[in-house]
């Protein structure tokens, strides 16, 4: 199956904070586009209504009616959905996500990943350093710790780590 276009639904978060949802969804949109293997489509409009209207994943099963409706509306080969599981926007930052990609052709999950990234853990700090060195100028003010000063930057780091696992 060739995936040419994917629909990235807004991430779900059990607390209604649209700014958080936008921040994490945008980070994943950027990282998925960097892969370059497919076009990423992001729906416009009221995100809360879109999520409640289009509940695609419920208790481990796919809502086929929603899947077919979104496939027709956006002409996509797959749908990516995610859930913010942990969120702490202050030091030490913490972000946890679960992400999945469903084929609109078969309704099966073709990719899923999850992780909790706590910047207080040495392993995560090391990953942040490696990410910084591969994506930023070495002479940037504050160095790699710059990522730990902004939840937007930290979300980008987490999105990068999760999307690197994408193999379909």
Q: Are 131 and 119 in contact (CB under 8 A)?
A: no
| pLDDT tens digits for range 86-126 | 999 998 999 999 999 999 998 888 999 999 999 999 999 99
User: pLDDT grade, residue 147 (50/70/90)?
Assistant: confident
* Calpha distance 8→43 (Å, rounded): 7
* 101 contact partners, CB below 8 Å, separation of at least 6: 6, 78, 79, 80, 109, 110, 111, 112, 166, 168
| pLDDT on residue 50 | 61
Q: Are 79 and 70 in contact (CB under 8 A)?
A: yes
| pLDDT on residue 13 | 87
Residue ranges per structural domain of the chain: 5-163
Give Cα 21 to chain centroid, integer Å. Answer: 10
Task: For the chain, give the mean pLDDT.
Answer: 87
Topology, domain 5-163 = Rossmann fold (3.40.50)
| pLDDT on residue 167 | 72
User: pLDDT grade, residue 51 (50/70/90)?
Assistant: low
> Could you give the count of Cα atoms lying within 13 Å of 64 in the half-sphere of its Cβ?
3
Q: Residue 53 above 60 pLDDT?
A: no
Q: What percent of the chain lies above the pLDDT cut of 70? A: 84
* Calpha distance 137→157 (Å, rounded): 15
Mean pLDDT check: name the lowest of 130-134, 153-157, 161-165: 130-134
Q: Are 144 and 115 in contact (CB under 8 A)?
A: no
Burial label for 44, CB within 10 Å (0-12, 13-18, 19+), is exposed
Q: Residue 162 above 70 pLDDT?
A: yes
């Amino acid at each position: 199956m060739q995936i040419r276009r994917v629909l990235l639904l807004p991430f779900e978060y059990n607390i209604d904070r649209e700014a958080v949802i936008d921040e994490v969804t945008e980070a994943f949109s950027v990282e998925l586009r960097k892969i370059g293997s497919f076009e990423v489509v992001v729906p416009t409009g009221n995100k809360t209504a879109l999520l409640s209207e289009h509940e695609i994943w419920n208790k481990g099963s796919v809502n086929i009616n929603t899947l077919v409706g979104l496939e027709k509306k956006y002409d996509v080969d797959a749908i990516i959905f995610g859930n913010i599981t942990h969120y702490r926007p202050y030091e030490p930052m913490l972000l946890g996500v679960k992400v999945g990609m469903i084929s609109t052709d078969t309704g099966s999950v073709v990719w899923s990943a999850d992780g909790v990234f706590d910047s207080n853990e040495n392993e995560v700090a090391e990953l942040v350093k490696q990410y910084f060195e591969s994506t930023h100028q070495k002479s940037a003010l504050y160095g790699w710790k710059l990522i730990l000063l902004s939840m937007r930057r930290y979300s980008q780091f987490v999105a990068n780590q999760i999307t690197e696992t994408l193999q379909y």
